[in-house]
Amino acid sequence: MAVFCPECENPLDVDDELEEGETMQCDECGVELEVVSSDPMELAVIDEPRYEDEDPSPISADEEE
Ligand SMILES: [Zn+2]
């Protein structure tokens, strides 16, 4: 079945056997997607910052908002 990438709207050929919580990658824009719903199939962009193992910069208490 075809699902559209929420990021670039590229039609993705999704495996019907994908279940909620599984992840895949968009071939077009390379974004990582998580299956948030399997019926109907729905994908969400995984937007989490990745820290390098060697330097996990801790979040400072800088509250300027
Ligand atoms: Zn995409």
The answer to whether position 36 is within a domain reads yes
Backbone angles phi, psi at 10, to 5 degrees: -75, 130
Q: How many domains does the chain have?
A: 1
Residues 6+ apart with CB under 8 A from 11: 2, 3, 4, 5
Domain span at 9: 2-45
Q: Report the C-alpha gap between 57 and 51 in whole angstroms.
A: 7
pLDDT for the residue 39: 86
Whichever domain contains 16, its CATH number is: 2.20.28.160
CA of 30 to the centre of ligand 1 (A): 6
CA of 27 to the centre of ligand 1 (A): 7
Residue 56 has pLDDT above 90, yes or no: no
The answer to whether position 33 is within a domain reads yes
The answer to whether position 64 is within a domain reads no
Over residues 32-47, the pLDDT tens digits come to 999 999 888 899 999 8
pLDDT for the residue 55: 67
The answer to whether position 15 is within a domain reads yes
Lowest mean pLDDT among 4-13, 28-37, 42-51: 42-51
